[in-house]
A and B are shown apart, each in its own frame.
Chain A
Amino acid sequence: MAVITMREALNQAMREEMQRDGGVFLMGEEVAAYQGAYKVSKGLLEEFGEKRVIDSPITELGFAGLGVGAAMAGLRPIIEFMTFNFSILATDQIINSAAKMRYMSGGQFKIPIVFRGPNGSAFQVSSQHSQALESWYAHFPGLKVVMPSTPADAKGLLKSAIRDDDPVIFLEQERMYGNKGEVPDAEDFLVPLGQADVKREGTDATIVARSMTVPLALKAAEELEKQGVSVEVIDPRTIRPLDIETIISSVKKTNRVVIAEESHAFCGVAAEISAQIMERAFDYLDAPVRRVSGADAPMPYAKNLERLALPDVERIVKAVREVAYL
């Protein structure tokens, strides 16, 4: 197994799928000549040419809709948003077109498209560039929502997403592009959509974490182990469809849950997961589910305030101790 960065893993996934299927193309702002604003598409223009790696104008609604139309006509577009903050301009095409085309045509069309790019905060980029939008997209039947937390998951999930016949919102995290990890060498290494991963086994409490909160949860688990608390860390990896079974199994074992997320808590994914836990495993809970979420405020610019707005190891440790009544 090679140790590579998240950025390289994503790049490999796109390269391999473009080699495998001539209908796969990449379109977005600065994906070609510039090699990607975050260098995720580095080298792809050189290998596949400008027919398949296409720099778009800054016209998110337009190229998102173009991608959906191309998917209706049988291609497999990868549409990169430079950040998912800009996808807000494209939500009409993602939600009104991509998510619903199959249904409202009575199953006549499939929409095999991936919308991908960084989601959530970066480093001091302030309010309009730091939003985590997974709960928006996960809200709508017809979309699949994926959030990898390791290079291996990033590669395997992106390859699955590109091969999938449904629209997939693939949410990366700018803070994690440089994170390194082992990735299996097998050419056909895939991680199926809709399967959670137990990132660490434990018996006393469960932390459900996704994307950037997974490494934080694992650090918190290490810290708690020193304090005599055995923590299980579960990464759903796919938000929709959600592998609630794996989470429920863990809850039945540990009876205590903390959900860590970067996004705002209100109407968020943690709220959904905690509701489902209550519906399915209420009698197994020894304490109310606790959420550690991003602050209920727009993201501030100042370094100290930004730090306060995001979940961290300390807050996750504190929440676990609270549900464990320690």
Chain B
Amino acid sequence: MSELKVIPMKPRTQSDSSSSSTGVVERDDTDRIDATELREEHEQRRQEQHRHIEEVDNETLLRMLYQMVLIRRFEEKAAEAYTLGKIGGFCHLYIGQEAVAVGSVSAIRPDDYVLTSYRDHGHALVMGTSPDEVMAELFGKAGGCSAGKGGSMHLFDADKNFLGGHAIVGGQIPLATGVAFASKYRGTDQVTLCYFGEAAVNQGAFHESLNMAQLWKLPCIYVCENNQYGMGTSLKRAMSQSDVSQKACAYGLASEFVDGMDVLAVRAATERAIARARKDSLPSLLEVRTYRFMGHSMSDPGHYRTRAEIERYQERDPIKVFSSNLREKRVLDDAGLKEIEDRVRTEVERAVKFADSSPEPAREELYTDIYATKP
């Protein structure tokens, strides 16, 4: 099924890995990478994105860049607020993975559905939930998008068809399958995007869902955001067959391997999957290879990967690469980029102010929203 032409950013083979059985990286492996090969890969990817840029209108391209920058700056601010003690509990940042949510959501309609995992800030923002409400939710305030009851991992926005952040690994996969079932049951052509990390692929929920989705031809697009680490455990240490897109074969689904650092490659792959879903009510699995630049959560010591590895991926920072290519294609100039950064800064600062000033939920809210029908 794959129409991918770029060289996937496949991890080095097992024999190249210098990980010990405990996962602590004892030495740097960057010297093993052929510099020429790497330059060629980068050049190929650059050309690929240039080609995609020509296929998309400027307004959409700039909106996507804006959304990616918004997520990045929002998350940086969230990290800051977390260290100040304004955000409690778990806080999983989306920095590095912005191209996945932005690229895929850019391909859907407003009446389509999105469900994701606990790393959900980016998805909520790109679905149109206001940064004010997302930040207020992180702060545990009444003005939050889940009224302060869900927190970072449980952002919801029913009006935007954003059906949540779900915090049991893989738990959202059967739910999304059911949402897609409802669309088919009603005879609409709505599609459902279901995001999850690669570690969720080891859960039964993933396999049970893919089986039902293909069996009953449900319009669900399963987007595996393969950031290559389930908390601190690398893909290679957790999955016997680590080629996630191949898992679709077991259930007869269409699948693609997608470069998750290229927002337009993600958009194009999602468009192909949406075509299958809308027209023929067929599910797809997209393995979108990405990388999170920050820890799993704010409390991640980061001992399981090297600085060199992170830097290697930061060279491919999806925002840096996209804005650079947009400049080269003359879609964006310095003034345009500054305008986006300024707008985002204002919005994020306003979000923090809103969250700060929003009241805590009233005491009686402890016992509301448990049941819809009271006996």
- Within residues 91 to 148 of chain A, which ones have a CB less than 8 A from any CB in chain B? 92-93, 96-97, 101-112, 141-142, 144
Contact of A106 among B148, B178, B215 (CB under 8 A): B148
Contact B158 A65, beta carbon cutoff 8 Å: no
Contact of A103 among B174, B178, B369 (CB under 8 A): B369
Contact A63 B212, beta carbon cutoff 8 Å: yes
* B residues less than 8 Å from A144 (CB atoms): 371
Binds A, one of B25-33, B164-172, B264-272: B164-172
Contact B212 A51, beta carbon cutoff 8 Å: no
Contact A65 B171, beta carbon cutoff 8 Å: yes
Binds A, one of B73-81, B181-189, B285-293: B181-189
Instruction: Please measure, in the bound complex, the distance between the C-alpha atom of A103 and the C-alpha atom of B369, giving whole angstroms.
Output: 5
Instruction: Please measure, in the bound complex, the distance between the C-alpha atom of A75 and the C-alpha atom of B148, giving whole angstroms.
Output: 27
Contact of B175 among A59, A68, A77, A193 (CB under 8 A): A68
Contact A109 B156, beta carbon cutoff 8 Å: yes
Instruction: Please measure, in the bound complex, the distance between the C-alpha atom of A225 and the C-alpha atom of B328, giving whole angstroms.
Output: 94
Contact A73 B375, beta carbon cutoff 8 Å: no
* A residues less than 8 Å from B182 (CB atoms): 69-70, 73-75
Contact of A165 with B by CB under 8 A: yes
Contact B178 A67, beta carbon cutoff 8 Å: yes
Contact of A194 with B by CB under 8 A: yes
Binds A, one of B139-147, B304-312, B314-322: B139-147
Contact of A72 among B146, B150, B163, B375 (CB under 8 A): B163
Contact B212 A62, beta carbon cutoff 8 Å: yes
Instruction: Please measure, in the bound complex, the distance between the C-alpha atom of A219 and the C-alpha atom of B267, giving whole angstroms.
Output: 69
- Within residues 153 to 211 of chain B, which ones have a CB less than 8 A from any CB in chain A? 154, 156-158, 163-164, 166, 168, 171, 173-183, 185-186, 204-205, 208-209, 211
* B residues less than 8 Å from A62 (CB atoms): 174, 177, 204-205, 208-209, 211-212
Contact A70 B156, beta carbon cutoff 8 Å: no
Given contacts A57-B211, A96-B171, A108-B156, contact A102 B370 (CB under 8 A): yes
Dominant secondary structure of chain B at its interface with chain A: mixed
Contact of A64 with B by CB under 8 A: yes
Contact of B335 with A by CB under 8 A: no
* B residues less than 8 Å from A92 (CB atoms): 168, 171, 205
Contact of A218 with B by CB under 8 A: no
Contact B175 A72, beta carbon cutoff 8 Å: yes
| Minimum CB distance partner of A58 in chain B | B208
* B residues less than 8 Å from A75 (CB atoms): 181-182, 185-186
Given contacts A59-B212, A69-B182, contact A106 B174 (CB under 8 A): no
Chain B: number of interface residues, binned into ranges: 35 or more
Q: Give the distance to chain B from A115, nearest Cβ to Cβ, in Å.
A: 13
* A residues less than 8 Å from B168 (CB atoms): 92, 96-97
Contact B179 A106, beta carbon cutoff 8 Å: no
Q: Give the distance to chain B from A167, nearest Cβ to Cβ, in Å.
A: 9
- Within residues 317 to 365 of chain B, which ones have a CB less than 8 A from any CB in chain A? none
Contact A107 B212, beta carbon cutoff 8 Å: no
Q: Give the distance to chain A from B305, nearest Cβ to Cβ, in Å.
A: 30
Contact A104 B146, beta carbon cutoff 8 Å: yes
Contact of A93 among B145, B158, B174 (CB under 8 A): B174
Contact of B178 among A71, A96, A142 (CB under 8 A): A71
| Minimum CB distance partner of A242 in chain B | B375
- Within residues 53 to 91 of chain A, which ones have a CB less than 8 A from any CB in chain B? 54, 56-57, 59, 61-75, 77
Contact of A193 among B166, B177, B212, B375 (CB under 8 A): B375
Instruction: Please measure, in the bound complex, the distance between the C-alpha atom of A306 and the C-alpha atom of B317, giving whole angstroms.
Output: 65
Contact of B372 with A by CB under 8 A: yes
Contact of A57 among B166, B185, B215 (CB under 8 A): B215
* A residues less than 8 Å from B148 (CB atoms): 106
Given contacts A71-B178, A105-B146, A106-B149, contact A141 B171 (CB under 8 A): no
Instruction: Please measure, in the bound complex, the distance between the C-alpha atom of A67 and the C-alpha atom of B185, giving whole angstroms.
Output: 12
Residue-by-residue, is A242-272 near B (CB-CB < 8 Å gives 1, otherwise 0)? Answer: 0000000000000000000000000000000
| Minimum CB distance partner of B176 in chain A | A69
Contact A166 B373, beta carbon cutoff 8 Å: yes
Instruction: Please measure, in the bound complex, the distance between the C-alpha atom of A221 and the C-alpha atom of B187, giving whole angstroms.
Output: 55
Given contacts A57-B215, A65-B209, contact A107 B368 (CB under 8 A): yes
Contact of B66 with A by CB under 8 A: no
Contact of A164 with B by CB under 8 A: yes
Q: Give the distance to chain A from B368, nearest Cβ to Cβ, in Å.
A: 7
* A residues less than 8 Å from B145 (CB atoms): 106
Contact of B113 with A by CB under 8 A: yes
Contact of A170 with B by CB under 8 A: no
Instruction: Please measure, in the bound complex, the distance between the C-alpha atom of A322 and the C-alpha atom of B183, giving whole angstroms.
Output: 59
* B residues less than 8 Å from A97 (CB atoms): 166, 168, 171, 175
Instruction: Please measure, in the bound complex, the distance between the C-alpha atom of A324 and the C-alpha atom of B176, giving whole angstroms.
Output: 56
Contact B150 A105, beta carbon cutoff 8 Å: yes
Contact of B179 among A56, A70, A96, A166 (CB under 8 A): A70
Contact of A241 with B by CB under 8 A: yes
* A residues less than 8 Å from B371 (CB atoms): 102, 142, 144, 166
Contact B173 A65, beta carbon cutoff 8 Å: yes
Contact of B147 among A66, A106, A164, A165 (CB under 8 A): A106
Residue-by-residue, is A182-196 near B (CB-CB < 8 Å gives 1, otherwise 0)? Answer: 000000000011110
Contact of A177 with B by CB under 8 A: no
- Within residues 262 to 292 of chain A, which ones have a CB less than 8 A from any CB in chain B? none
Instruction: Please measure, in the bound complex, the distance between the C-alpha atom of A144 and the C-alpha atom of B370, giving whole angstroms.
Output: 11
Q: A-contacting residues of B (Cβ < 8 Å)?
A: 113, 115, 144-150, 154, 156-158, 163-164, 166, 168, 171, 173-183, 185-186, 204-205, 208-209, 211-212, 215-216, 368-373, 375
15 further A-B contacts with Cβ under 8 Å, apart from A69-B178, A107-B368, are A57-B211, A62-B174, A62-B204, A67-B178, A69-B182, A70-B179, A73-B179, A92-B171, A93-B171, A102-B372, A104-B149, A106-B150, A108-B156, A144-B371, A195-B375
- 25 chain-A/chain-B pairs, Cβ below 8 angstroms: A62-B174, A62-B177, A62-B205, A64-B174, A65-B171, A68-B178, A69-B177, A69-B178, A69-B182, A70-B178, A72-B179, A73-B113, A73-B182, A92-B171, A101-B164, A105-B146, A106-B144, A106-B146, A106-B147, A107-B369, A108-B146, A112-B372, A164-B373, A166-B373, A195-B375
